[in-house]
Structure 1
Amino acid sequence: MPKYIIERTVPGAGRLGPQELQEIARTSNAVVDGLDSPYTWHQSFAAGDKIYCVHTAVSADVVREHARCGGFPADSVTEIGSEFGPWSA
């Protein structure tokens, strides 16, 4: 399945506290459990006024459905072409 990076504009995202992040996670997990399609949320990063998420799904449309059902913005949904890191050197 393709892996996607989702960019979400959330004012003050980088300053969200543990309880707020926990609630977002609970909502996301509940939506994932209710989807009629395979879906994996890998991780998210809150920085500045953005949240960047990495998810695996059968299509970008399913990623957008997850966002809609969870009440999350999805400003951009981009399929990851390749992954690399220090282990790639």
Structure 2
Amino acid sequence: MPKFVIERDMPAVGKLSASDLRGASQKSCEVLDALGPKIQWIQSYVTDDKIYCVYYAADEGLVRRHAEMSGFPANRISQVHSVIEPATAE
């Protein structure tokens, strides 16, 4: 399945408590369960005002549907074409 990075603009999200983040994760997982096996959340990175999420999904439309159903913004969705890391230089 294609991999996507989702940029979510969420002012002050970096100040949320662990309990708030747990609740958001639970909501996301509930929606993922409802959408079925063609979408999978890999991980998310929380910064001051954004969350960057990494997902596998059959297509971008499924990522958008997850955002709509969960109530989380998906301000930018980008398909990952390659991954590079220090070992790539070898």
TM range (shorter): over 0.9
Report the equivalent of 1:46. Answer: 46
Structure 2 unpaired stretches of 5+: none
How far off is 1:36 after superposition? Answer: 4.2
How many angstroms apart in 2 are the aligned matches of 1:49 and 1:79?
22
How many angstroms apart in 1 are the aligned matches of 2:15 and 2:79?
27
Report the equivalent of 1:4. Answer: 4
Alignment TM-score, normalising by the size of structure 1: 0.94
SS at match of 1:74: coil
Report the equivalent of 1:28. Answer: 28
- The one-character-per-residue Cα deviations of 1:14-59 (angstroms, maximum 9, x if unpaired) are 1211001101100000000000451110000110110000001000
Runs of 4+ in 1 over 2 A off after TM superposition: 86-89
How many angstroms apart in 1 are the aligned matches of 2:12 and 2:19?
14
Alignment TM-score, normalising by the size of structure 2: 0.93
RMSD over aligned Cα atoms: 1.1
SS at match of 1:69: helix
1:85 equivalenced with 2:85 (yes/no) = yes
Report the equivalent of 2:74. Answer: 74
Q: How many pairs are equivalent? A: 89
